[in-house]
Structure 1
């Protein structure tokens, strides 16, 4: 019966999405007074849309394009034509009150049609660089792409994975341990400030960022040290929304999501209230998102365990609140003060423990959960000053304070989780408050400045600056007992980067960064553990201090062979600080051989070197990018779940990535993303790469996503996509199965707003989640079919 209801819901959703245009409001095409201030093009278009009662659908990214002022009597067509003149964009009325804004195809001289796109600027490099001067593998996901893909999921990892090859399939839980990029770690920034906690990896980052506050996403593949440690595989910079003076907007966004196997118990509503704008010299932006989720189900119709990943939790049976705010004041032209904040509150109330003896892991209805809930209580604050100091340069100084409290779920003892914390006064009884908590505080300052050196060479720019950071990490139980050594770390960094257009055909860039860390590890008493019939006695751990530093380099050359075809060759270095907290937790355990004295723990920062060759072609109706790369390092960070050990060995990873899009017509285009990655490492430290990297580093060697995007029945935009994830069979007795999942989403202008629907896993396919299975070493089922229906309206 539940499957019958699910199928009925699927077809009902498709029927709702195909409501004819007759429901749309009618807008007059006659002349009327139009007043639009000069400035941002997107703002001007929205003002025209408000004055004429139009609904805009934007294809592409209008960021950074300016328009002139309008003060005249004119029709909507005349106003749009005037604003878009020279922008590289045109418009098309698909109904009386719905307009598509899209890139133009022009013909000049003997040249055939060429798509003229606006300049896209990337800031994750610590400077404002045009994406045209960077490797073709760099991707910027704009607001229109984010909004369109939010139709089927509000998870930010889905948006990134559907736009960027090389980003691994997520494990559908809260953690990011398997969110690897090119087989390595990802550094996550929000407005240039790192969210990673390297001294004790919290593995809960992207899942806690509300997509409703995101303006754009910058992804720079490869190792990179420009923002400190952590970016050995890629840098992901989340740009939050900023208010615009003269464009005061209030937005209501609501959606509900359910699994079709049990619509009632899985019903999950979400509501966002947001606004942006400004007055005088002040700009403001804010949002509040609240959501509640029910049960989750797999493709067989079975309920998915709430904590299939042993303490890491999931999105089901949870309540989530995210509050975001940003304010700025322009003191004078080129000078602005700003302050932003984000508060996250998340709680998952788990009903039952997981049964790890089944294949795949299942809900153990005979064993009710008796631990504390999984919780997240975090707040982030960033303030700063943007400046234009003439010949000294333009840039910004940011001060930040991150305070995060991440409480894990309670996990039972099993062969995958052999040791549990015992009571301090009774080593034979499990501590009921023994769940782990990572409590971190991170604060500091970041300075970045672009100085023009035209006197030395026209177009030469020096980007320079430095960082000061302080980390305070506590690794405790819910009851307040230390399970890892308390740690403090001070970091200092200086960097310089030169970039210049050598000719109109060649852009060169290169730089160096020096980083130094002073780490202090405190003494603590490692608690006693129960491991089956055996008890592991408490032990005193002796702390200490360490200083380690890194000098990293990068260089790239981008060749513009024609206006349509670019290639790049790049070399970059990044590094990651070892997870010291994980070592100290295991200190003195019989299985791990980790010493009880920090002076005897030999952990070293892992420096990764990446070599990349990439190409990009932008044709009139065909666009493609491709890259091949190799990354190497002498000290990896591999976790052996079987022996509960961390190890550092020499590694090498190779891979390739490809994207492509083809315009079948003005209303329809098709595209694909493909990536291959594989790696080996030196297990016996003899210099030879004798073994394949474990599955938790590379869950799948190959991933392919194909999609078709089309406007049907006028202004209904629909997208159909499918993702194939290849199996991995390199590790004996730990084989990962392949998977194939199809999705459908749509957006439709309705009653002055946008209605949307999304269906993930259309065919309710039963499959094994490759990333989750790879992390723990047992089979974890992927999620079944879900249907999302939502509505967004701007006022």
Structure 2
């Protein structure tokens, strides 16, 4: 029995330690559901004592008919993830009130040293086979995973011996006002195997038109998507040396640039006037260079499923280069030196190595799994300005961590997990000077010369979970997990108020996460419920100072709490419905005040209906509800920072597809079907100039697919 189980597990790991072999194993009546990101190995979702959301390829394709934006897709399908911001930035789109770690095939993509909130858009959705979301702080992956993990698992090569692929051409345009709104999107992929060699090639190119709100006006340009050119080129090559050993090489290039001749007409939450864009007046042009993220990833994976008896090993080596250019901002002005504003860019170069070993044993009715290894990372991150000024100095981080996780399964019903992670981080920063920034000619921050140093972080974190599959109708679980977070040190450094880096309060925040819940399967009904509480002695957020125009660190203790529910009902083979609801709240416990929208989102509910009225047609309806959140009073007659009031709104999306033949199909998607005139939650809560941009009006996406 043990040998059979080990052979199955080894086979799964050999084909892909990131679950690439499992892409056809979507949730259905006959196939066991599998997840990997929670414990870094392939395992049954029924043996994970935590809340997990898995988005399969069918769900991804349904959402892509409406919009190619991953933010919108995740917001519609993941309880606990804040609503989409309607822009290229995921600032405020937290997972259970804290920042998630974004990964591609298990390799980290986020830049926690200077979190620019662009991590969700790191590749095109057409490249993704499935998405796994693990919620809550975790000691499995270390820094940057305070809110949990979002893991994009990319497509795999088919092993049928035939060449497979697809081609898609589509156009997206405003149904409110067509003028200049039409965009084009092209994507194509090919994959296959030749003897022991496998390959996956995927490319997408998109040119957006202007994005219009429900009144037909062009949306504001801060993190905007109007006139953006988005391209993604992905390749994956594999070689199977023998039955046990394999090697995989992956390269991903993603780039988005907003190349527009528009300028903003700036409003604000407090004035009640929206921000929108118009063509630059004659004789003028937009300030700065095109904004947008650029991300290059190279990954090498080696797998040996029989390193020792009952032991497999997976070695991941990776390199990543990020250049994220932000919008031109007047808050980066310094009139005395001739700067009317400026543009910043986050530059990050990462090199990492992860070694994961997995051993399994069995004694009578008890099965034991041990996952252990090391993570090594060098991350060099900075945030200069395009004009050459240095805003955030270069931070050179050396991170070494060891971990040990165990799982015990008794009688196939009782699961106990326990683990430990030891984190050692050394962060070197040379001497630097803070920038003088001015909100007016007479109101400026005071620059300081700061002595550099090497900051040392040492943290040991633990996790413990239990699940009892007592019966299909009631499967309770509980877990406790810690996370060590030094997120956004760059923001702390750029607002330094002392002359020595060693005096800045930069120590890591240890997050304690508690969760209880249960899962029920009763006939055609699947139901999940969980409640959680997350505490930390030190916060990692910041607060905007309107007097100086800079963000100041807030390191007060925090408590975040909430609950989530999901119900899935399958009426028959043609019709199924999924409904979710999530509520989260949080406080600065030292001052007994609520946390702002940068962390805490308004309540969110969704309903997803999938209907197949005939064999060659499919229809999907998505309903999104965002509730009120009004926790803050005005200061001197105005709302400040991220503490504006949020009013509820409702959005309905519709999509459908029709198979014209075995190879050809057509599709149409309509975003904001009823042209709801609304501000997204972030646009209501963020009071900063230019952020109060209305949501997208009714927008149509239509195209054709060719599959071979």
Structure 2 match to 1:332: 242
SS in 1 for 2:392: coil
Deviation at 1:253, TM superposition (A): 1.6
Counterpart among 457, 466, 471 of residue 557 in structure 1: 466
Deviation at 1:696, TM superposition (A): 2.1
Deviation at 1:62, TM superposition (A): 12
Structure 2 match to 1:291: 206
Structure 2 match to 1:25: none
Structure 2 match to 1:147: 61
Q: Deviations over 1:540-586 (max 9, x none)?
A: 22211110111111111111112453111111111221312112222
Q: Deviations over 1:58-109 (max 9, x none)?
A: xxx996499xxxxxxxxxxxxxxxxxxxx9x9xxxxxxxxxxxx94xxxxxx
Preserved CA contact (<8 Å) 2:111 2:119: no
Preserved CA contact (<8 Å) 1:174 1:204: yes
Q: Report the Cα distance in structure 1 between the residues aligned to 2:167 and 2:707, rounded to whole angstroms.
A: 7
Deviation at 1:225, TM superposition (A): 2.3
Is residue 212 from structure 1 mapped to residue 123 from structure 2 by the alignment?
no
Is residue 622 from structure 1 mapped to residue 535 from structure 2 by the alignment?
no
Preserved CA contact (<8 Å) 1:337 1:386: yes
Structure 1 match to 2:607: 706
Structure 1 match to 2:566: 659
Deviation at 1:365, TM superposition (A): 5.3
Counterpart among 575, 590, 601 of residue 668 in structure 1: 575
What are the residue-to-residue correspondences of 1:83-94 with 2, within 5 Å?
none
Structure 2 match to 1:320: 230
Deviation at 1:192, TM superposition (A): 0.8
Is residue 773 from structure 1 mapped to residue 684 from structure 2 by the alignment?
yes
Structure 1 match to 2:380: 472
Deviation at 1:392, TM superposition (A): 5.6
What are the residue-to-residue correspondences of 1:140-539 with 2, within 5 Å?
140-245=54-159, 246-307=161-222, 313-350=223-260, 351-357=262-268, 359-363=273-277, 368-388=285-305, 389-391=307-309, 393-412=311-330, 417=331, 419-421=332-334, 427-430=336-339, 434-454=342-362, 458-534=366-442, 535-536=444-445, 538-539=447-448
Deviation at 1:531, TM superposition (A): 3.0
Preserved CA contact (<8 Å) 1:200 1:579: yes
Preserved CA contact (<8 Å) 2:536 2:559: yes
What are the residue-to-residue correspondences of 1:672-687 with 2, within 5 Å?
672-684=579-591
Counterpart among 582, 597, 611 of residue 695 in structure 1: 597
How many matched pairs? 665
Is residue 758 from structure 1 mapped to residue 658 from structure 2 by the alignment?
no
SS in 2 for 1:207: coil
Q: Report the Cα distance in structure 2 between the residues aligned to 1:536 and 1:563, rounded to whole angstroms.
A: 61
- Calculate the TM-score normalised by the size of structure 2: 0.90
Q: Report the Cα distance in structure 2 between the residues aligned to 1:537 and 1:573, rounded to whole angstroms.
A: 38
Preserved CA contact (<8 Å) 2:540 2:555: yes
User: Which is greater in Rg?
Assistant: 1
| Alpha-carbon RMSD | 2.3
SS in 2 for 1:641: strand
Preserved CA contact (<8 Å) 2:20 2:154: no
Q: Report the Cα distance in structure 2 between the residues aligned to 1:520 and 1:392, rounded to whole angstroms.
A: 41
Preserved CA contact (<8 Å) 1:124 1:237: no
Q: Report the Cα distance in structure 1 between the residues aligned to 2:334 and 2:601, rounded to whole angstroms.
A: 30
Preserved CA contact (<8 Å) 2:365 2:410: no
Q: Report the Cα distance in structure 2 between the residues aligned to 1:529 and 1:743, rounded to whole angstroms.
A: 43
| Inter-CA distance 660–161: structure 2 relative to 1 (3 Å threshold) | same
Q: Report the Cα distance in structure 1 between the residues aligned to 2:64 and 2:116, rounded to whole angstroms.
A: 26
| Inter-CA distance 774–630: structure 2 relative to 1 (3 Å threshold) | same
Q: Report the Cα distance in structure 2 between the residues aligned to 1:65 and 1:316, rounded to whole angstroms.
A: 34
Q: Report the Cα distance in structure 2 between the residues aligned to 1:136 and 1:515, rounded to whole angstroms.
A: 23
Q: Deviations over 1:688-707 (max 9, x none)?
A: xx11111221131x211123
Preserved CA contact (<8 Å) 2:625 2:650: yes
SS in 1 for 2:58: helix
What are the residue-to-residue correspondences of 1:5-154 with 2, within 5 Å?
64=22, 103=28, 115-135=29-49, 137-154=51-68
Structure 2 match to 1:732: 633
Deviation at 1:773, TM superposition (A): 2.9
Q: Report the Cα distance in structure 2 between the residues aligned to 1:117 and 1:376, rounded to whole angstroms.
A: 38
Q: Report the Cα distance in structure 2 between the residues aligned to 1:315 and 1:272, rounded to whole angstroms.
A: 19
SS in 2 for 1:162: helix
Preserved CA contact (<8 Å) 2:221 2:276: no
- Deviation larger for 477-486 or 488-497: 477-486
Preserved CA contact (<8 Å) 1:446 1:468: yes
| Inter-CA distance 584–737: structure 2 relative to 1 (3 Å threshold) | same
Q: Deviations over 1:463-502 (max 9, x none)?
A: 0011110011122111333112211010010000110211
Unmatched runs of 5 consecutive residues or more in structure 1: 1-38, 40-60, 67-86, 90-101, 104-114, 308-312, 588-593, 685-689
Preserved CA contact (<8 Å) 2:245 2:304: yes
Is residue 541 from structure 1 mapped to residue 450 from structure 2 by the alignment?
yes
Structure 2 match to 1:7: none
SS in 2 for 1:484: strand
Q: Report the Cα distance in structure 1 between the residues aligned to 2:364 and 2:469, rounded to whole angstroms.
A: 23
- Deviation larger for 537-546 or 272-281: 537-546
Preserved CA contact (<8 Å) 2:472 2:522: no
Q: Report the Cα distance in structure 2 between the residues aligned to 1:539 and 1:636, rounded to whole angstroms.
A: 24
Preserved CA contact (<8 Å) 1:353 1:369: no
Q: Which runs of 4+ in 1 moved over 6 A?
A: none
| Inter-CA distance 65–384: structure 2 relative to 1 (3 Å threshold) | closer
Q: Report the Cα distance in structure 2 between the residues aligned to 1:578 and 1:681, rounded to whole angstroms.
A: 18
Structure 2 match to 1:639: 542
Preserved CA contact (<8 Å) 2:218 2:278: no
Structure 1 match to 2:11: none
SS in 2 for 1:604: coil
| Inter-CA distance 65–269: structure 2 relative to 1 (3 Å threshold) | closer
Q: Report the Cα distance in structure 2 between the residues aligned to 1:187 and 1:691, rounded to whole angstroms.
A: 27
Preserved CA contact (<8 Å) 1:136 1:626: no
Preserved CA contact (<8 Å) 2:132 2:150: yes
SS in 2 for 1:442: strand
Q: Report the Cα distance in structure 2 between the residues aligned to 1:670 and 1:392, rounded to whole angstroms.
A: 42
Deviation at 1:281, TM superposition (A): 0.4
Q: Report the Cα distance in structure 2 between the residues aligned to 1:329 and 1:366, rounded to whole angstroms.
A: 53
Counterpart among 698, 701, 708 of residue 788 in structure 1: 701
Q: Report the Cα distance in structure 2 between the residues aligned to 1:340 and 1:721, rounded to whole angstroms.
A: 34
Q: Report the Cα distance in structure 1 between the residues aligned to 2:360 and 2:594, rounded to whole angstroms.
A: 47
| Inter-CA distance 199–456: structure 2 relative to 1 (3 Å threshold) | farther
Q: Report the Cα distance in structure 1 between the residues aligned to 2:126 and 2:68, rounded to whole angstroms.
A: 8
Q: Deviations over 1:730-778 (max 9, x none)?
A: 1113211111111111122123233221111111010111023323456
Q: Report the Cα distance in structure 1 between the residues aligned to 2:450 and 2:340, rounded to whole angstroms.
A: 20
Q: Deviations over 1:236-277 (max 9, x none)?
A: 111111213324212102221111122241111110111111
Q: Report the Cα distance in structure 2 between the residues aligned to 1:439 and 1:65, rounded to whole angstroms.
A: 34
